Amino acid sequence: MEIKTDFLVIGSGVAGLMFALKVADSGKVSVVTKKDIFETNTSKAQGGVASVFDDSDSFELHVKDTLEAGDGLCSLEVTEMVVSEGPHMIQELIDMGVKFDRVETDETKLDLGREGGHSAERIVHSVDMTGREIQNVLVEKVKNHPNIDVYENHIAVDLITKATVINRGVIVTTCERECTGAYILDKTTNKVKSFSARKTVLACGGSGKVYLYTSNPDVATGDGIAMAYRAGASVANLEFVQFHPTCLFHPKAKNFLISEAVRGEGAVLRDARGKKFMKEYSPLEDLACRDVVARAIDHEMKKSGDDSVFLDITHKDPEFVKKRFPNLYEKCLEYNIDMTKDYIPVVPAAHYMCGGVATDLNGHSDIKNLYAVGETACTGLHGANRLASNSLLEALVYADRSSKDALDTTDFSIPIEDVPTWDESGTTDSDEAIMVSHNWDEIRLFMWNYVGIVRSDKRLERAKRRIKAIQEEINEYYWDFKVTPDLIELRNIALVAELIIKCARKRKESRGLHFSIDYPFKNDKDIQNTIIKMKN
């Protein structure tokens, strides 16, 4: 089955939905999403969107904070562009109906929060579930737009380029790099559909599920990065995986994040004996950047042997805590934790991929007609470490810029090209689900142990050997059986794991989120981005 569309958007977070809405008046849009349209990292985002709205703040300060967090690898041009365009994008959301919190005494002013690494209050938020508020508004508009078709429970298999050849379900490409669509598996029928498109947008989110412990939802398997790399696109800086310092530690809690905004409102970290420890690691103490805080917690846990540390906001007025963090408060109560009275047990977890598909200022990859936006992309904004709440900001700005570029470079008078049909001849139904589940678990475990918060040459070499053996098994399996959602995701996390390891082995220093005990210092003399591309 072939579906022709002007714009194919793979992913349904803020970046993908905003892009879809901005191009929909000019052409037909297909939005493909792995589960339902709400299952995204965006809908889980608690903190907010960083943007300058207060007279005591400035673009220059926001740029400075972003550059300092990025530890020498942010693009100044990109940072200045994103920061300066932020307020306009926030206003667009407000005009769409997004309700951000306002100052009680002056409803004309946004209530601005503060988070780690920021030198001013600039976090625009909707209580403590900002992402959900944005997602709800965008989804409603997308579903009501006559030019947008949403394909839920559809998972992308691979991109199609002009050089694509299908051989028993395996895509082979040559040096001709122009994207013409993607192969998409309909999970309800187990049939692969061919989507042909003038422009394709990867808005697939992050890759937290590569790691054993993550704040990400189950859909975050690095699909966009893996597909782009297989199609011949450059990827960059994948060694910089941000581990959020404070995920709830509880046997029944899964992927639940305790927002950085809690520390922004005065919460402090304590060890199991009640001692505050962040002063030993940074002059900013509990408001230090995430890489510093995550390593500090990791070190404290290894030093003491404790299973977690604790976040303490009990010194704040209980009514303030309940009003500022209503969802967090209720969620913690489900686990018999009253955050107005009790310390919250927390541990670091894989949270955000700062690297991704390398793009230009308009979100365009180095494959013609292929864009990457949101966490899938490496734009140059985050450098070696993302500043808190810059992710939604980046997604909004690049959705806007990429949509304008896509419209400016599309000739709608030219017919949409046909693409090769999916060929699964010679394959059979999978009969070894144990291979998928076993390899999935093994990858996530050794990535956590060997390529986690603290790394070494020996650990990376072990990880390299393990991933090579697993990928050989996956590739052999992939040739013989019909694709399934689990196999697609396993193939993607294995490739993204390999790419993270490759990037980490290339960086012979410690910078930002990449810390090696063999190279504990920065090498500013040879500072550079880590860019890798599949060899033809």
How many other C-beta atoms are found inside a 10 Å radius of the C-beta of residue 429?
8
| Torsion sign across C-alpha atoms 458, 460, 466, 468 | negative
| Alpha carbons 183 and 165: distance in angstroms, whole number | 12
Residue among 442, 9, 11 nearest 206 (CA): 11
| Alpha carbons 407 and 421: distance in angstroms, whole number | 27
* Whether residue 290 lies in the annotated active site: yes
The token duo for 241 is: 């995986």
- Helix/strand/coil for 134: helix
Catalytic choice (114, 198, 270, 290): 290
* 450, 462 contact by CB (below 8 A): yes
Give the CA angle between residues 157, 440, 379 to the nearest 5°.
55
| Alpha carbons 149 and 144: distance in angstroms, whole number | 10
Distance of alpha carbon 184 from the chain centroid: 21
* 385, 404 contact by CB (below 8 A): no
* 164, 173 contact by CB (below 8 A): yes
How many other C-beta atoms are found inside a 10 Å radius of the C-beta of residue 102?
12
> Identity (one letter) of the amino acid at 178?
E
| Alpha carbons 123 and 112: distance in angstroms, whole number | 5
Which of 266-270's residues contact partners 24+ apart within 8 Å by CB, and which partners? Answer: 266/313, 266/315, 266/316, 267/311, 267/312, 267/313, 267/316, 268/311, 268/312, 268/313, 269/245, 269/293, 269/296, 269/297, 269/309, 269/310, 269/311, 269/312, 269/346, 270/309, 270/310, 270/311, 270/312, 270/343
Q: What are the catalytic residues?
A: 290
